[in-house]
Amino acid sequence: MIPNRQMPQGPIDCAEALRHLYRYVDQEMSMAELLRMKEHLDGCPDCSFETVAVQDLRRLLKRSCAEKAPGELRDRVAAKIAALRQEAAAH
């Protein structure tokens, strides 16, 4: 059997919504699928709560990644400045 990642036609149920939740949050689905997910989430507090939780998690992950890079950059710049100062002091 070929695995079918497309949604079935018509309204989707909770099992279907949860199966596609990550693709929905990452927006890796077609407009038609997005609309069907939205339609279900609007009428289903359980799935919509789950979606918000996943979105928050994604945001947190993104933020912690974004904060890590400038921190490393700052350390590298600080090291470079210290090295330059030492060089200047040696002359």
Residues that bind Zn ion (CB under 5 A): 14, 17, 44, 47
Of the candidates 72, 21, 30, the residue with the CA atom closest to the CA atom of residue 51: 21
Residue 26 or 46: which CB sits closer to Zn ion? 46
**Cβ 22 to Zn ion, closest distance in Å?**
15
C-beta of 7 vs 47, nearer to Zn ion: 47
Shortest spacing between CB 33 and Zn ion, in angstroms: 15
Identify whether the C-beta of residue 1 lies closer than 8 Å to the C-beta of residue 28.
Answer: no
7 vs 17, beta carbon nearer Zn ion = 17
Least distance in angstroms from the C-beta of 52 to Zn ion: 13
- Cβ-in-10-Å burial (0-12, 13-18, 19+) of 4 comes to exposed
Helix (H) or strand (E) holding 82: helix 45-90
